[in-house]
Amino acid sequence: MKTSNDYRKRLAAMRPNIYMGGKPVGRDHPAFQPGINTLALTFDLVDSPEYSEVLTAKSHLTGEKINRFTHIHQSADDLLKKQELTRCLCLKSGRCIQRCMGIDAMNALSVVTREMDDALGTEYHRRFLDYLRFFQESDLVGNAAQTDVKGDRSLRPHQQADPDLYLRVVEKRPEGIVVRGAKAHNSIAAYADELLVIPTRALTPEEEEWAVAFAIPADAPGIKLISVPHTHRQRKVIKAPVEEYGTMHAFTVFDDVFVPWERVFMCGEAKFAGRLAALFATYHRHSYTGCKPAMSDIFTGATALVAEYNGIGKASHVRDKLADLVAVGELVYAAGIAAGVKGSRSSSGTYIPDVIYTNVGRYHAEVNIYHEYETLADIAGGLAATLPMEEDFYNPETRPYLEKYIMRKADVPAEYQHRCYRLIENLICSSTGAAAQISGIHGGGSPVMEKIAIMGRYDLEARKRVAKYLAGIPGGEDGENGGLS
C-alpha cells in the first residue's frame, strides 16, 4: 500500500490542466488542500488499530493486503465493511470521504465487463483485471465521471441539437479511441489520479457511439478540469478539523481525448450501457448508506451540543427532534446493512448489494436532508446566521463585548460557545453547507432516480397477486406470500 505522501507526489507530477476563477491553477492551489487532506486520511489510517480492519482488505487477484478503496467486493461482509468504513472515515473528515466513487465504478466495471464478455465474446474483463492490478498496486484515487451534461432533458442523446451533450466516441483508431464531451459534478477530479468514465443512462441501439467506458489519467491530453470551490470563510485563530478537510467539484471537458484500447471497457455495446450506469449507481448509493448516517451523526451531535450549551439539552422538544435525526441516520444505515446481507454474487464473482434496499436507503437520506438542516437551524437559533466574523472576536475593541454576550451556560467558556456556533455556521450557513445540502439530494442520483430504480426492480406483480388473493379474484392463488420466499 502507498502513503499519502506518495499520493501527494503523484499529484505534484501531473500536467497542469485545471482552471478556476478565470485562470489556470496548479494542483498545489490552496483551494485543493482540504480535499487532498481528506483523501490523505484514507492512506494514513491503514495502520491505525481503530481503522485498519475496515480500511484494508485482501486482494482477490493477488492475495496481497490492499487498501479497501481499491478492493472488489467478494462477499456480503465486504459490503458491510465498506459501509462501516465509509461512516467511520466521514466522521473523521466531517464530510464526504470521496474515495468511494472510484472503487464503486471499479466494482461496477468488474461485473459488466464480465457480462459483456460472456454475452458477446469481447475481452473487456481481461483488460479490466489488468487495469485493476495496476490500480491496486499503485493504490490509486479514482474519480467516477458519469453524469453527462445532458442538454435538453426531453430529448434522448441522439436527438440533441449537439451530439456532444452526451460524451461519445468520435473516432476509432487501431491503437485506441477518441472521445468528446463533458462530465458534470465531478467530485475530486482535480486531485484524483484517474478518471473512470462510464455512461450516464440506458441507451438504444442507435446510440452506440455514446456507449463508452474507459479509464484515463486525470491529466491526459485534451482533458480540462474547470473546478468549482465552495469554501468556508478561512479561519485565522480557531483552527478546527471541520475546515482542514473539504471537497471540490469539477466540470470535466474531454476535448477529443485519446484512450488506448487497453483502457477501454465498453465501446458500442449500447445494450449494456444501462446496466453499467445502474450498477455504478447501486454501488454508489450503497456508499451513501455509510456516509449519510455519518452526516446525521454530525448533525445530531451538533444539535445536542448547541442545545446543551444553551441550557435546553434535556427539553422534551429537543429530545424529540434529536430522536428524529437519529431515526433518519439509522434507518439509512439499516437499509445499507440489509442491502449487504441480501446482496448477491455476479458472474464475475463480485458481490452486488441488493438494489431495493440500497435505493430505499439512499432515497430516505435524500428526502430528509433538508429537514436535517432545518432541525439544527431550529435548535441553534438565529445566531447560526448572524454570528459575527471571527476577526471581530479577536479585535480588542469588540472582543470583550462578543465574549460577554455570547455566553449561554455559565460554565462553558466563551471560546467553546464561539467554536460551537462557528461549526454550525460552517455546516448550515455557508456556501459549503449549501452545496452539501444540494449534493445531499442529488449525489448518486436524485430522488426520482431512486424511485425509478426501485420500481424497475420491485416485484409489483407479486403484490397485486396478494391483493387478488385476499379479494378472491382469480390469478391471486400464488400470491399468498408476496413472492418473498
Which 274-313 positions form the footprint of a copy of itself (CB under 8 A)? 294, 297-298, 300-302, 304-305, 308, 310-312
**Strand 344-345 and strand 351-352: pairing?**
antiparallel
- The x, y and z cell numbers of residue 341, run together, are 446481507
| Beta carbons of 217 and 194 less than 8 angstroms apart | yes
Amino acid identity, position 197? V
Task: Tell me whether residue 113 or residue 247 sits nearer to a copy of itself (CB atom).
Answer: 247
Pairwise CA distance, residues 256 & 208, whole Å: 17
**Strand 223-228 and strand 18-20: pairing?**
parallel
Task: Give which of 206, 137, 130 is closest to 166, Cα–Cα.
Answer: 206
DSSP-assigned beta bridge partners for residue 172:
177
Work out whether 240 is an interface residue with a copy of itself (CB under 8 A).
yes
Identify which range of 135-143, 191-199, 247-255, 263-271 contacts a copy of itself by CB under 8 A.
247-255
In the region spanning residues 379 to 408, those forming contacts with a copy of itself, defined by CB under 8 A, are 381-389, 391-392, 394-395, 397-398, 401-402, 404-408
Pick from 3, 29, 129, 164: which binds a copy of itself (CB under 8 A)? 164
Task: Tell me whether residue 35 or residue 59 sits nearer to a copy of itself (CB atom).
Answer: 35
- The x, y and z cell numbers of residue 317, run together, are 422538544
Give the nearest distance from C-beta 79 to a copy of itself in angstroms.
12
Pairwise CA distance, residues 14 & 5, whole Å: 15
Pick from 271, 326, 349, 414: which binds a copy of itself (CB under 8 A)? 326
Work out whether 422 is an interface residue with a copy of itself (CB under 8 A).
yes
| Beta carbons of 307 and 251 less than 8 angstroms apart | no
Task: Give which of 372, 302, 366, 296 is closest to 330, Cα–Cα.
Answer: 296
Work out whether 431 is an interface residue with a copy of itself (CB under 8 A).
yes
Number of residues interacting with a copy of itself: please give it, by CB under 8 A. 157
In the region spanning residues 175 to 234, those forming contacts with a copy of itself, defined by CB under 8 A, are 182, 184-185, 224, 226-230
Task: Tell me whether residue 270 or residue 338 sits nearer to a copy of itself (CB atom).
Answer: 338
Give the nearest distance from C-beta 185 to a copy of itself in angstroms.
5
Task: Tell me whether residue 262 or residue 390 sits nearer to a copy of itself (CB atom).
Answer: 390
Give the nearest distance from C-beta 211 to a copy of itself in angstroms.
20
Distance of CA 100 to the CA centre of its chain: 6
Pick from 74, 334, 403, 414: which binds a copy of itself (CB under 8 A)? 334
Give the nearest distance from C-beta 245 to a copy of itself in angstroms.
9
Residues near 215 by beta carbon (within 8 Å), at least 6 away in sequence? 131, 142, 194, 195, 196, 197, 263, 265
175 three-class SS: coil
Q: Where are the beta strands (DSSP E) in 119-175?
A: 142-145, 168-173
Pairwise CA distance, residues 105 & 85, whole Å: 17
Give the nearest distance from C-beta 126 to a copy of itself in angstroms.
34
Work out whether 480 is an interface residue with a copy of itself (CB under 8 A).
yes
Residue 142 phi, psi (nearest 5): -110, 140
In the region spanning residues 343 to 382, those forming contacts with a copy of itself, defined by CB under 8 A, are 356-357, 360-361, 363-364, 369-371, 373-374, 377-378, 381-382
Pick from 123, 152, 171, 206: which binds a copy of itself (CB under 8 A)? 152
| Beta carbons of 284 and 97 less than 8 angstroms apart | no
User: Which residue blocks in 235-269 are alpha helix, DSSP H?
Assistant: 241-244
Pick from 47, 50, 123, 206: which binds a copy of itself (CB under 8 A)? 50
Task: Tell me whether residue 134 or residue 370 sits nearer to a copy of itself (CB atom).
Answer: 370
Task: Tell me whether residue 122 or residue 375 sits nearer to a copy of itself (CB atom).
Answer: 375
Distance of CA 415 to the CA centre of its chain: 34
Work out whether 20 is an interface residue with a copy of itself (CB under 8 A).
yes
In the region spanning residues 84 to 143, those forming contacts with a copy of itself, defined by CB under 8 A, are 84, 87-88, 91-92, 94
Pairwise CA distance, residues 100 & 286, whole Å: 10
